[in-house]
Structure 1
Amino acid sequence: MELLVNLLEIIAKGGWLMVPIFLCSVVAAAIIIERWIVLSKSKTNTRHLMMKIKSLMIKGDRNEAITLCEKTPGPAAKVLKKGLLRAHREKDEIQGAIESAGKEEIFHLERHMGVLATIAGIAPLIGFLGTVTGMIAAFMEIQRLEGSVNAAVLAGGIWQALITTAAGLIVGITTFIFYNYLVTRVQRFVFEIESSSNDLMDLLIEEKLTENAYKREVL
């Protein structure tokens, strides 16, 4: 408890610029938690899903493949569903639907990531600004006292001015670490979307070629 009180006292001595730094930390924490939850819920075994879809398509059960995508969580399943719903259309139309759905899902995955990157960059700058203004105030006080100030008072003014830099760096570094972690996870989802989309297109093209060959044989 005493440690917490001392910490709050130190933060209070950092000045008013500690307020935006604190707000940055709150916003960053909220985004990190929200993105973590969203990405965790979106996790799925895309390779296993594609194997099931391929098996159903070989059996000619396209509707069951669509139902499977609806029941499966994750962005890749939603993109695959869009492609399956237009499987009877031309190749370009299917490709366009898949690309459009993919862009939409990637947009949802990357939501608020720009804010997180901004906080990672701006928090240390706010802290540095607090230190600069604090040092200016300290030297102005020294000038006012015409240099008659002891080392202890000077050191006190300097360490108080450095509080904001320390706070800004803590918030910025922590946010940057989580930002890179989340970006890596998003990139993994993007790869899964692109890979599964290509697999589906190959599957649908193969299906159309088989259908055309069968029609020629019948005729």
Structure 2
Amino acid sequence: MRHLFMLASEGGEVGMWGAIKENPTFLVMNLVVSAIVVTVIIERSYFQLDRYRVNSKEFFAQIKKLVVAGNIDRAIKLCDAGDYPILQLVKAGLTQASKGADEIDAALSEKLSELKPAVEKRVALLWSLANIATLIGLIGTVSGLIKTFASISAPGLSAAVKQQMLSNGIAEAMYNTAFGLGIAVLCMIAHVMLHTRSKNIQHDLESTTERVFNLLTIAKPNF
């Protein structure tokens, strides 16, 4: 393993950057994985914070006042004020307000089934990326150790050089392990947070569906 001999005899760079320069294959692969992970986390976090920033209870309270007063058209226009999922869901029920309970329920259920998958989209990917990063790190570790032990068995090297080569090789292998595990931990923490947030959003959508259905059927407003 030529790069280990060069590190040992000429004093190459140490640390993560040195490991990347000397044997970049698996570390670069995990750098790519980490970039994907960060992209998914940022995109999902922005999606959840931006698309679901409407307070569903306050919004429904406004809709309820309009519906009870018989102002269905105004309530629908209020829903058209933005392209937020909660507004779309409420509008789906309001557009069927003059029809029977079955039609209202069908419209709400259809819209809910359309909105819910988007909430969990790509969140499960983080768990897969955690496993991929861990395995890449372990492969890099094993590969580095195999090459290291093969190199120090070469004849003609002094004990000091072999010891330095072994030290550099093990350090490189451990960087692969640490980097892979670090990415995996980040993925798992992000997955827990985003998944929890997704479940809360889905519960909010389901609760809004029930409130709209009850308002348009059980309450029986005059419109």
TM-score range relative to shorter protein: 0.7 to 0.9
Superposed, 1:92-131 pairs within 5 Å as 92-131=102-141
Identity of aligned residues (%): 29
- Point out the structure with the larger helix share: 1
Paired residue type of 2:42: I
| Cα distance in structure 2, aligned partners of 1:18 and 1:6 | 12
Q: Say if 2:124 and 2:191, in contact at 8 Å, map to a contact too.
A: no
Distance 1:184 1:73, change over 3 A: farther
- RMSD value, Cα: 2.3
CA shift, 1:76, in A, is 1.8
Q: Say if 1:14 and 1:161, in contact at 8 Å, map to a contact too.
A: no
1:48 aligns with 2:63: no
What is the DSSP-based 3-state SS (H/G/I as helix, E as strand, rest coil) of the residue aligned with 1:206?
coil
1:89 aligns with 2:89: no
Q: Which moved more, 1:31-40 or 1:139-148?
A: 139-148
Where structure 2 has 5 or more consecutive residues not aligned to the other structure, the ranges are 1-13
| Cα distance in structure 2, aligned partners of 1:100 and 1:132 | 51
Structure 2 counterpart of 1:215: none
CA shift, 1:153, in A, is 2.3
Q: Say if 2:148 and 2:169, in contact at 8 Å, map to a contact too.
A: yes
| Cα distance in structure 2, aligned partners of 1:14 and 1:163 | 11
Q: Say if 1:82 and 1:101, in contact at 8 Å, map to a contact too.
A: yes
Structure 2 counterpart of 1:186: 198
| Cα distance in structure 2, aligned partners of 1:21 and 1:204 | 53
What is the DSSP-based 3-state SS (H/G/I as helix, E as strand, rest coil) of the residue aligned with 2:165?
helix
Q: Say if 2:152 and 2:165, in contact at 8 Å, map to a contact too.
A: no
Aligned length: 206
> Which of 1 and 2 has higher RCO (CA within 8 Å, sep 6+)?
2
Structure 1 counterpart of 2:168: 156
Q: Say if 1:142 and 1:148, in contact at 8 Å, map to a contact too.
A: no
Where structure 1 has 5 or more consecutive residues not aligned to the other structure, the ranges are 212-219
What TM-score, normalized by structure 1, do the two folds share? 0.84
Among residues 163, 167, 186, which one is paired with 2:179 in the alignment?
167
Structure 2 counterpart of 1:18: 27
Structure 2 counterpart of 1:32: 41
Distance 1:147 1:7, change over 3 A: closer
Distance 1:50 1:126, change over 3 A: same
Q: Say if 2:148 and 2:165, in contact at 8 Å, map to a contact too.
A: no
